[in-house]
Amino acid sequence: MQINIEFYASLMQYLPPGKSRHRREISVQDGLRVNRLVEQFHIPEKMAHIVLVNGHFVDADKRADRELVEGDVVSIWPPVAGG
């Protein structure tokens, strides 16, 4: 199935080659869980601090259960703050 990934800030280094600043459309196996996606891109667990699927938080303790579906957008940030 096709999903979109978006990596931000220091995690942009984990993006595969492509034209968009943050987003890549990728093919993944059906039913892939969020934690497996993070592992697949070799992002250290602690650096996947904010993980959104379609703009909604997936907390760290829920990522092993959360199955992705066709067209999902997964956005990942390291620990960040500002204000």
Partner 1 sequence: MSWTRKILRVNLSDGSCTSEPLNMEWANQYLGQRGLASKYLTEEVDPACDALGAENKMIMATGPLTGTMASTGGRYSVICKSPLTGAIACSNSGGFFGAELKFAGWDMIIFEGQSAKPVYLYIQNDKAELRSAEHLWGKSAWETDDIVRQTHQDPQLRIACIGRTAEHGCLYSAIMNDKHRAAGRSGVGTVMASKNLKAVAVRGTGGIGNVHDSKAFMAATNDGKAVLAENAVTGQGLPAFGTQVLMNVINGVGGLPARNMRDVGFEGAENISAEAMAEPRKSDGKANLTTNGACFSCTIACGRISTVNPEHFSVKDKPQYQGNSGGLEYEAAWALGADTGVDDLDALTYINFLCNEDGMDPITYGCTVAAAMEMFEDGVITTEHTGGIELRFGNAEAFVAITEQFVTGEGFAADLGLGSKRLCEKYGRPELSMTVKGQEFPAYDPRGIQGIGLAYATSNRGACHLRGYTIASEVLGIPVKTEMNDTDGKAELVKAFQDATALVDSAGLCVFTTFAWGMDNIAPQIDAACEGDWSVENCLETGERIWNMERLFNEAAGFTADDDTLPKRLLKEIIKSGPTEGQVNRLGEMLPQYYEARGWTADGKIPQETRQRLSL
Q: What is the binding site for partner 1 (CB under 8 A)?
A: 6, 8-10, 12, 21-22, 46-47, 49-50, 52, 54-57, 59, 75, 77-83
How many angstroms separate the CA atoms of 50 and 58, rounded?
A: 8
Q: Give whichever of 4 and 30 is closer to partner 1, judged by the CB atom.
A: 4
Contact 8, 79 (CB under 8 A): no
Q: Give whichever of 28 and 73 is closer to partner 1, judged by the CB atom.
A: 73
How many angstroms separate the CA atoms of 14 and 53, rounded?
A: 18
- Provide the minimum distance between the beta carbon of 23 and partner 1 in the complex, in angstroms, as a whole number: 9
